[in-house]
Structure 1
Amino acid sequence: MKPGLIPFIIFLLLIFSCSEDKTHSLSEDKEKLTVLISSIEKQGNVLMEEMDLLADFYDSLVLNKENILQKITKDKYQFSGVYSNNTPDSDSLLSSVIILTTTPDFNKARDEVRYTNGLDSAFADLYYKYDLITQLYSNSASQISRVFPAYDVANILDPDLDVTAFNFFYEADLEHNPSKGSKWILDPYVDPAGKGWILSLVHPIYDQDFLSAVVGLDITIDNFIQEFLEDLNGDYLIVTGKGDIVGGNATAIEALSMPPLKNHVYRETIQSDNFRISDFNLFSSKSKEVRAMAKAFLLENQDNFEFIEEGFLTNAMCMRFSLIDWYAIKINFDN
């Protein structure tokens, strides 16, 4: 063998080895993202099935409301003004109930509270069955809000609200949900009952052709991160189709030139008073390359992005959820 061929052969072997390692790494990342998405969607499907059953029960209450009202001999809830007067620590099986000042008929609303009191036990069963669930609730066109578990409703909730104006109500209507089934509200929002940034699963309740109420459950972003991301080996993000970060590892979020995190923890940041989820959007990153990555993943349907200018970042792998408009992203750093 000619001496000049030896360096060339070594060079080819190095290139082949690096290419093989990179292919193997991308394959591993893809497998990890598949497992992550599968675990989230599996839990999501379970909760949708539970919500369908809960809505069926609610439908039965509406259908039999006259019979239920005739059998009631004593009110389960007493009210101080518009608020039920039970406190969060008075009975762990009661909800907080409020008949908002926007109700068109207070006496009719009181009857609705009475014939839907059976929801309390159904709410409690689901709440204690799934750690992921933060609260369950119903909001009606009669401006009644029932939330389990009970909370300090008089000091937290504005009595003059119109619940039908919130996305957790109108996202379930016929225009936004023609199937009339369970529906995830994909964009996180601030809970008016004081639970912070949440994700919601809702289901409409119809009285004949009239949308009489919406029943739902909430998952806080905090609980979501704990359940699916906190113990993962690696740096991951879950983002909406708009680029908002639903959850992620602190190192990944900071590396993508997002705003500073409170105590370097995303979970603590989302609980702070000045948190705005729009600030944590990939398209708002200070890094031109991160914005290019967002475009590649969310607008151009690419699944891999190579960083060139960000010295400590190597590449990122992306995979779209199959059921909802979310994306899981794995961020890789230089070793």
Structure 2
Amino acid sequence: MKNYLNLLFLGLGVCSCSFLPQKSFQEEFSDLEEMVDRLEDQGAFMSQSLDSLAHFYEDQIARFDSLLTFADYDKYLIEGPFSTATPGLDSTKSSIIILNTTSDREQALQEVAATNFLDVHFAQFVKRNELVAQVYSNSALQVSRVYPCYDHKNIVDPNIDVTQFNFYYAANEINNPNKGLVWIPDAYVDPAGRGWIVSLVHPIYKDNSLFAVLGVDFTVDDVIYTYLQDYDGEYLLVNAKGDIVAGKAGAIETISMPPLKNHVYRETVKSENFRVSDFNLFQSRSKEVRKMAQEFLLNKKKVFEFNEEKNLKVALCLPFEEIDWYMIQIIPNS
């Protein structure tokens, strides 16, 4: 990205950007670049880890009959759709769901037993990747295995078809013909109350058919606030639709967004009355902020100078490379 920034600064040198000296301007963009690079490095490490786990999973599934021969059918007690494992009581177990939409429950029970080997590898994956919220497998036979164990009985509707959700179909044969890693482009609010979740998925094939989708979720709250706190200034992380995925309270308040719960955005997104549309740049009460969103997200500009908002001077923006996100710095008038 550094070569890209050098070209950017050359271009800015011939424009009339009098609001910020070029030296300071470059310093501000250097901070943005560092933040984006650190986050993308974390994403790259996560990708490599999941890719390795996916290859191991496929290698094991290729000898499915052998797995069944030595499977521990008694490891999980499954009552109706749900396993009886309780969150917090056994750190070696996942939450298992055999959804009511399965086409063959007996075969699904066999699949659970055959894939019990995943538990220890899921646990190791979470231990090595401290920012991971959960790692999981959702199969074509409607078997869901999620680690760590969670309160699945009170959260998941057992009548859903998991193949109709983006964390499954984004990796299927049609949407992912290369059969590799896929970032889910839009963060979403987790129903279990963990705030914004981002997913990375990888298809698992057996005999050239999609057997399952392996995935990992991590909370934007854990990742972003770890990085934002290291930098002075007011920052926003937004997706391509203009939704504010994360940000400092000062930045959100200065761009005419709704009042924050307890003055902290991370608490606001966890509250029951949170609405994504309220925290979208295109829904700001400020016409100039809406214009800023258009310039950054639609016109791919990197600098926006405020003329009407007297408390704001300029906003700077850099895009991510691997996911359709943008880091924005809001610079107020001193």
Change (3 A) 1:111 1:231: same
Q: Structure 1 residue 84 and structure 2 residue 77: aligned? A: no
SS of residue in 1 equivalent to 2:184: strand
Distance in 1, matches of 2:19 and 2:140, equals 60
Q: 1:67-126 CA distances to partner (integer Å, 9 max, x unpaired)? A: 011123552111122211111122111101010111110000011111111111111111
Amino acid aligned to 2:273: N
> Structure 1 residues 161 and 298 mapped into 2: Cα distance closer, same or farther (>3 Å)?
same
CA–CA distance in structure 2, aligned partners of residues 20 and 170 of structure 1: 47
> What letter matches 1:77 in structure 2?
Y
Distance 1:287 1:221 in 2: 26
Residue number in structure 1 paired with 2:311: 312
**Cα distance in structure 1, aligned partners of 2:21 and 2:317:** 15
2: CA distance, partners of 1:167 / 1:86: 26
Report the RMSD for the aligned CA atoms in angstroms: 1.7
Question: Aligned equivalents of 1:234 and 1:131: distance in 2?
Answer: 26
CA distance in 2, matches of 1:42, 1:73: 39
> Could you say which residue in structure 1 is the equivalent of 2:185?
186
* Shift of residue 248, structure 1, vs aligned partner: 0.9
> How far off its partner does 1:228 sit?
2.1
Paired positions, count: 318
Q: 1:259, 1:279 within 8 Å by CA — same for their partners in 2?
A: yes
Answer yes or no: is 1:323 the counterpart of 2:312.
no
> TM-score normalised to the size of structure 1?
0.91
1:296 matched to 2:295: yes
Residue matched to 2:13? none
Q: Does structure 2 retain, via aligned residues, the 8 Å contact 1:61–1:115?
A: no
Deviation string for 1:161-214 (max 9, x for gaps)? Answer: 111111111111122222211111121123355544311011111123322211
- Aligned 8 A contact 1:156 1:194 in 2: no
Q: Is this contact kept in 1: 2:304–2:316, CA < 8 A?
A: yes
Gaps of 5+ in 1: 1-17
Q: 1:73 to 1:133 in 2, by over 3 A?
A: closer
Post-superposition Cα deviations, 1:24-76, rounded to whole Å, max 9, x if no partner, equal 22111110111011001001011000110111111022101100111235521
Matched residue SS, 2:245 = strand
Q: Is the 8 A contact 2:196 2:245 kept in 1?
A: no
Q: Which residue of 2 aligns with 1:62?
A: 61
Q: 1:155-304 residue pairs with structure 2 within 5 A? A: 155-191=154-190, 195-304=194-303
CA pair 32-72 structure 1, distance change in 2 beyond 3 A: same
Contact 2:95 2:146 in 1 (8 A): yes
Matched position secondary structure for 1:187: coil
Aligned-residue offset at 1:289: 0.4
Q: Please tell me whether the aligned partners of residues 153 and 193 of structure 1 are also in contact (alpha carbons under 8 angstroms).
A: no
**Residue identity matched to 1:287:** S
In structure 2, the residue corresponding to 1:260 is in which secondary structure?
A: coil
Label 1:223 to 1:330 Cα distance change in 2 as closer, same or farther (>3 A).
Answer: same
TM-score (norm 2): 0.91
Whether 2:129 is the aligned partner of 1:130: answer yes
Equivalent position of 1:9 in the other structure: none
**Matched residues in 2 for 1:294 and 1:262: separation?**
24
User: Deviations 1:211-269 (Å, cap 9, x if unpaired)?
Assistant: 22111111123213322223321111111122111111111011111122111111001
Structure 1 pair 130–173 and aligned structure 2 pair: CA distance change class (3 A):
same
For the structure 1 residues 166 and 323, does the alpha-carbon distance in structure 2 shift closer, same or farther, using more than 3 Å as the test?
same
State the one-letter code of the partner of 1:26. F
Q: Is the 8 A contact 1:244 1:277 kept in 2?
A: yes
Q: Is the 8 A contact 1:224 1:247 kept in 2?
A: no
In the alignment, structure 2 segments of 5+ residues that lack a partner are 1-16
Query: Which structure is larger by alpha-carbon Rg, 1 or 2?
Result: 1
**How far off its partner does 1:21 sit?**
5.3
- Counterpart contact for 2:96–2:144, Cα < 8 Å: yes
Letter paired with 1:315? V
Q: What SS does the corresponding residue of 1:186 show, helix, strand or coil?
A: coil
Query: Which stretch has the larger CA shift, 144-153 or 187-196?
Result: 187-196
- Cross-structure match for 2:96: 97
Identity %: 51
C-alpha distance in 2 between matches for 1:78 and 1:262? 41
**For residue 14 of structure 1, what is the aligned residue in structure 2?**
none
2:71, 2:116 within 8 Å by CA — same for their partners in 1? no
